[in-house]
């Protein structure tokens, strides 16, 4: 159903985790705010020009993938083999079509690969070398490994390899403090994602990540998995998740929000908060999500100290938040 009182609504996240004021300098905060705002504005302009919600998702996420501030695309974290392996997914709430890629190494903007799988293949998910080859055959931008590599990310990997542990890029230890030898200035908070509602009333969601530092054996988190990291359905909502992917996968977190709305008639906000603060947290799952429903309502719950989040209201106002004490 067409919406007459606005030209689109958009919300994005830049990762959830141990994001606290004392750990991020005012200068670095400004960098994050500037880049998040740039991404939101790019996607919002796309919606205002009459583009679909899926096109707005791709436009938005590409901005974040092209920034070393985030663990997606350029600047993705390193695997145990000192390579960068990226995941992304996108879903259209109108047609229920979806596309995803996992473990890609050469596609400059992973979200475009997910979109290509959705639009130009009979499949939903492609992985590894095959996904890279598909992207190349589709004419997507290809880069050498040096483009994605970041020296500070590599330093952090070396520290973790010495401890023989893997880590989300926003991990904290059991005391709620930053890991030993952790340098906040070397960090780039997390997985990125977006949800949108276009002027035709169609919702969409997309997510992109570089995964977990020091991951082995081709580990894949929730970001490329439809129903866990990304989900969209015009009848309920669109969701993009961020956090400890294993828990989001086990609880089918993004889809669970939609099911609570459909079966229990919950509002988006009630459903998203139940999943984040009860379902996930009761099992030890940390993270958050952004969501939007077909009426343009937005929800952005998280159970970690902070989550980078920004959205545009029905009146066209941009709101940017980094920390848990901001509303």
The phi, psi pair for 273, rounded to 5°, reads: -70, -35
Q: What is the distance of C-alpha 235 from the center of its chain?
A: 22
End-to-end CA distance of the chain: 30
Q: What is the distance of C-alpha 30 from the center of its chain?
A: 20
- Which positions are annotated as active-site residues? 191
Contact in structure between 112 and 140 (CB atoms under 8 Å): yes
Contact in structure between 77 and 84 (CB atoms under 8 Å): yes
Task: Specify which residues 310 forms β-bridges with.
Answer: 12, 320
**DSSP assignment of 232-297:** E-TTSEEEEEEE-HHHHHHTTHHHHHHHHHHHS---HHHHHHHIIIIIIHHTT--EEEEEEETT--
**DSSP assignment of 283-326:** TT--EEEEEEETT--EE--BSSSEEEEEEE-TT--EEEEEETT-
* Tokens of residue 290, six digits: 């952004």
Q: What SS3 class is residue 151?
A: helix
């Amino acid at each position: 159903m067409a919406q007459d009182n606005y030209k689109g609504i958009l919300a994005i996240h830049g990762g959830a985790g141990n994001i606290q004021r004392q750990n991020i300098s005012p200068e670095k905060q400004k960098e994050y705010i500037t880049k998040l705002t740039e991404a939101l504005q790019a996607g919002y302009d796309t919606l205002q020009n009459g583009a679909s919600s899926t096109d707005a998702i791709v436009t938005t996420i590409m901005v974040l993938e092209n920034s070393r501030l985030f663990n997606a695309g350029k600047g993705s974290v390193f695997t145990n083999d000192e390579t960068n392996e990226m995941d992304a997914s996108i879903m259209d709430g109108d047609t229920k079509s979806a596309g995803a890629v996992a473990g890609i190494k050469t596609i400059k903007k992973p979200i475009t690969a997910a979109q290509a799988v959705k639009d130009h293949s009979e499949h939903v998910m492609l992985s590894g070398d095959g996904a890279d080859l598909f992207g190349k055959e589709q004419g997507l931008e290809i880069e050498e490994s040096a483009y994605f590599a970041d020296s500070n990310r590599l330093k952090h990997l070396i520290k973790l390899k010495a401890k023989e542990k893997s880590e989300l890029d926003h991990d904290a230890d059991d005391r709620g403090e930053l890991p030993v030898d952790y340098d906040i200035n070397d960090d780039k908070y997390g997985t990125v994602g977006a949800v949108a509602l276009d002027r035709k009333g169609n919702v969409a969601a997309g997510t992109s990540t570089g995964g977990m530092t020091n991951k082995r054996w081709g580990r894949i988190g929730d970001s490329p998995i439809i129903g866990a990291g990304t989900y969209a359905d015009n009848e309920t909502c669109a969701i993009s998740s961020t956090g400890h992917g294993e828990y989001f996968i086990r609880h089918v977190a993004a889809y669970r929000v939609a099911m609570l709305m459909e079966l229990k008639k919950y509002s988006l906000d009630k459903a998203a908060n139940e999943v984040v603060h009860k379902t996930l947290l009761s099992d030890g799952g940390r993270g958050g999500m952004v969501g939007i429903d077909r009426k343009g309502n937005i929800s952005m719950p998280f159970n970690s100290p902070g989550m980078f989040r920004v959205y545009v209201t029905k009146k066209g106002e941009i709101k940017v938040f980094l920390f848990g004490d901001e509303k």
